[in-house]
Structure 1
Amino acid sequence: DFCFADPPYNVDKKYDCCDDDVDIIEYFDWCDKWLSELARIIKPGKTVAVLNIPQWAIRHFKCLNKLLKFQDWIIWEGLSVPVRMIMPAHYSVICFTKEQANDLPFYNLEHSLLEIKSINTYKEFYCIRNSCIKKRKKENIEDKTQVTNLWWDIHRLKHNSQRVDHPTQLPPVFMERLISIFTKEGDLVLDPFNGSGTTSLCAEMLGRKYFGIELSPKYYDIAIQRHQELQMGINPFGKRIETPEAKNSTVRRLKKQKYEVDKKTLQLEVKRISQLINSTPTRDDVIAYSQYPIKYYDDYFINWGEVTAAVRTTGMQNVENKKDYDLKVKKQNDK
C-alpha cells in the first residue's frame, strides 16, 4: 500500500557493509533496478515515495516518470554539512502512484492522536522550543496548521542521545508524517532500506503492517531490538545513554562533559560582541571582550561557525506573519 525508500546517497557514508562511493553510472543503474521493483509491486492508486538529495532525486524522477504517475514533490528543510559555497538545506521526497492516485486516506478517516500530531505543523516562523510552545499555549495562541509539501518543522537527529549505531537515521516524526498521509490503519508499508528500523517502528506504532528489508545483519539486529523494546512498552526513540560509534558526518564529536555555561548563553554573548564591534567576532575578539573563558567556546562547540551561528540569525517569533511583525517593530521604533 505504501513504499518508502531512503537509499544510500553515494556520498561516501561509512555504512556497515555497503560501498557508498561507487561510479555514478553504476549507482544510477542500481537505483533504476529497485525503483522498477517498487513500481511493480505498488498497488494501483497507492504511493511510492523516494527520499534523496535533490540532484539524485531528479534522476529518480526521470526513471519513475516512465513507470508511474507523478503525484507530488515534498521538500524537507534539513540543514546538512556545508560542502560548497551555498549551504545545502533541503532534501527531496518524490511521490508517484500507479495509475490515478487515490484520495489521501488522512482526509477521509478518523485518526489516532499520533496521526493528528504528525500531520499538523507549526506555522512558519514560530519557535518550536518547548518553552515557546508552552508560552503560546498559555496565551491561547493558535500555532498549528495543516501540513503542505514544504516541511520546515522536522529537524535531523544531531544529539547522540537520540541516535543508535547507524550513520543516517531519519527522525521518527518524518516517517510518522509520511505514513499518516499516505496510508490508513492496517495498510502494508514496505521499506527496502530499513536500516535501524525507523520506518518499520513508526508503521507498527501507527497500526500498519510492514516489511523492512536490510542488507546489514548489524542494523537488522538493532531494528529487531528496538521493535522488542516497543512491544515491551519502551519508547524505541527515547534517549540513550551509550554513545554510538557510527557518525553521520566528518565533523568531530564532542566529548561528554558538564557545561558550566549553556551554549545558548555563550552564543548570545558572541552576538553581543558582534554588535559591539560591528562584525562577526573572531576568536581573538571573544578573548578580548567576552565575560566567559575562551575554553568554554573551544570545548563546547564543534567549530567557530557554530560559535558565531547566533550572529547570523534574528531568532524565531511567536507571530503568525513575520512581515507583519517586522512592520510593527518598525512603527514602534519610528515612534
Structure 2
Amino acid sequence: VTFADPPFNLKKKYGTYMDEKETDDYLSWCRQWIMEMVRITKPSGSIFVHNIPKWLTFYTSFLNEAADFRHWIAWDAPTAPMGKTLQPSHYGILFYAKNQQENKFYEIRYPHKRCRKCGYLLKDYGGKKKILHPFGPLVSDVWSDIHRIRHNKHRDPHPCQLPIHLLERLILMSTDEGDIILDPFMGTGTTAVAAARLGRKVIGIDLDPQYVEITQRKLEQESANSKIGDIWVSFHRGEIITIADKDWEPLKSHFVIPEDMRRIDFEKIKTGSAVIATTPQTLQLHLEIEEEACDCY
C-alpha cells in the first residue's frame, strides 16, 4: 500500500518547508509523486491520497491515467466558516487500486452508535434490530466516527497531523500482517505508528530532520500489540473502533452478545453504570452513562 498526505499548498510552514507554490507548479509536482506512487505499488496493492477536495479533483485526473478508482472517502473534519462558500466539513481520501482484479480489500466494521446519556443504540442504525450485526455496521465511504485532533496536548508540532486510528482503518481494509506501507510525506509518523501497532512494515520519507527524529522516538515505544487474541483490531481511547469483517467469527468469543439481538439495549447493563454489551470480556471497555432523562429511544 502507498499512502500520501502531502502539503495542501495553503501557505503553512511544515518545519523547514514552506507550503507555498504557484498552482501550476504545485499540480505538476503532485503529478510526479502520484505517478511514482502508482509505479511502485504492487499489482494487488492500493493507493490512498489524502487532501482537501479542491486538490483531489485534480488528483483524480492524474490517477485515472494509471490506476482504477475505487472510492472517494470523506471523513469528518469541520472547519471555521470562510465566507461566501459552504463551510468545509470534510477531508477526502482517494482510494485507487493498482489493478482492480487483483486488489486486496477487506470489508470493515465500526461499533454501533450509542446515546452518550443512556447508552441505548441510536435510531439511525437502520433495518430491523433483530438482524443487527452484534459488533456494528459495515463502514461506508463517509466516516463520521473519526475526527480531527483538536487539542494541542494530543498534537505534535505539525500543521496537519492525522489521527492514528484513521490510518489503522485504511491498513486493516487493505493489507495483511507483514505487508509493506509506503508514506512519502511521513510527517511526525502517524502512518508508521499505525503500521507498527498492526504488525505491518513501513517505509517513511520526510524532508524535515525534526519530524524524522519525532517518528523514530515514537517507534521506539511501539510494538505490534493492537490485538484481541490473535486478531488485529484498531483501538481509540480504550475502545475498539475498527475490525475486519472477515475476523468476526474468531473475535466474537471475546464479546458479550445477547442471544436475542432485540435485547441489545437491555442486556448491555451490568453492575453500576457501565455499558459493556458487545464489548470484549477480557478488556474493561465501557461507556459511563449519566442519570439523566433521555428521549433517544
Structure whose residues are more often strand by fraction: 2
**Given the two structures, how large is their TM-score scaled by the length of structure 1?**
0.60
Instruction: Describe the shift of the 1:87–1:39 C-alpha distance in structure 2 as closer, same or farther (beyond 3 A).
Output: same
Q: Secondary structure at the match of 1:74?
A: strand
C-alpha distance in structure 2 between counterparts of 1:50 and 1:58, whole Å:
11
Alignment partner, residue 284 of structure 1: none
Counterpart residue number, 1:247? none
Letter in 1 for 2:25: E
2:96 is paired with a residue of what secondary structure?
Answer: strand
Q: Name 2:139's counterpart in structure 1.
A: 147
Between the aligned partners of 2:15 and 2:61, the Cα distance in structure 1 is: 30
| Unpaired stretches in structure 1, ≥5 consecutive residues | 108-118, 240-315, 320-335
Number of the residue aligned with 2:262 = none
3-state secondary structure, aligned to 1:211: strand
Name the structure 2 match of 1:111: none
Q: Is the 8 A contact 2:197 2:223 kept in 1?
A: no
Instruction: Give the drift of 1:67.
Output: 1.2
Q: Structure 1 pair 103/21, CA: closer, same or farther in 2 (3 Å)?
A: closer
CA contact under 8 A between 1:71 and 1:101: conserved in structure 2?
no
Match of 2:110 among 121, 127, 131: 121
Q: Distance in 2 between matches of 1:39 and 1:317?
A: 50
TM-aligned CA deviation for residue 238 of structure 1: 9.9
8 Å CA contact retained: 1:136, 1:143: no
* Aligned residues of 1:69 and 1:98 also touching (Cα < 8 A): yes
State which structure, 1 or 2, has the greater radius of gyration over its C-alpha atoms.
1
CA contact (8 A) 1:106 1:184 kept: no
The separation in 2 between residues aligned to 1:150 and 1:72, in whole angstroms, is 10
Partner of 1:86: 86
Q: Deviations over 1:34-72 (max 9, x none)?
A: 001001101113110101111100100000101111122
> What amino acid is the match of 1:90?
H
Tell me how many residue pairs correspond in the alignment. 221
Q: What's the Cα RMSD here? A: 2.8
In 2, the alpha carbon distance for the partners of 1:232 and 1:153 equals 24
Give the Cα–Cα distance (whole angstroms) in 2 for the partners of residues 82 and 164 of structure 1. Answer: 25
Matched, 1:53 2:65: no
Q: CA deviation at 1:103?
A: 5.3
Give runs of aligned pairs for residues 230-241 of structure 1, distance below 5 A. Answer: 230-231=222-223
CA contact (8 A) 2:199 2:224 kept: no
User: Alpha-carbon deviations, 1:141-198, whole Å to 9, x = none?
Assistant: 9673121111111010011221122121101110010011011111100000010000
Closer/same/farther in 2, CA of residues 155 and 318 from structure 1, 3 Å limit: farther
Q: What is aligned with 1:31? A: 30
The answer (yes or no) to whether the contact 1:47–1:101 under 8 Å persists in 2 is no
Q: Which residue does 2:148 correspond to in 1?
A: 156
Correspondence for 1:177 among 169, 193, 202: 169
In structure 1, give the amino acid aligned to 2:182: L
Greater share of helix: 1
1:229-263 per-residue CA deviation (whole Å, 9 max, x = no partner) reads 22599xxx999xxxxxxxxxxxxxxxxxxxxxxxx
Distance 2:64 2:224 in 1: 43
Q: Residue by residue, what CA displacement relative to the aligned partner does 1:81-138 show, whole Å, maximum 9, x if unpaired?
A: 322342100111111122224354435xxxxxxxxxxx433456x55x5x66xx348x
Match of 1:220 among 168, 191, 212: 212
In the TM superposition, structure 1's runs of 4+ consecutive aligned residues that sit over 3 Å from their partners are 101-105, 140-143, 316-319
Q: Confirm or deny: 8 A CA contact 1:123 1:145 kept in the other structure.
A: yes
Q: Percent identity?
A: 37
3-state secondary structure, aligned to 1:200: helix
The corresponding residue for 2:106 is 106
Other structure's SS at 1:144 match = coil
**Please, what TM-score do these two structures have when normalized by structure 2?**
0.68
Distance 1:47 1:54 in 2: 20
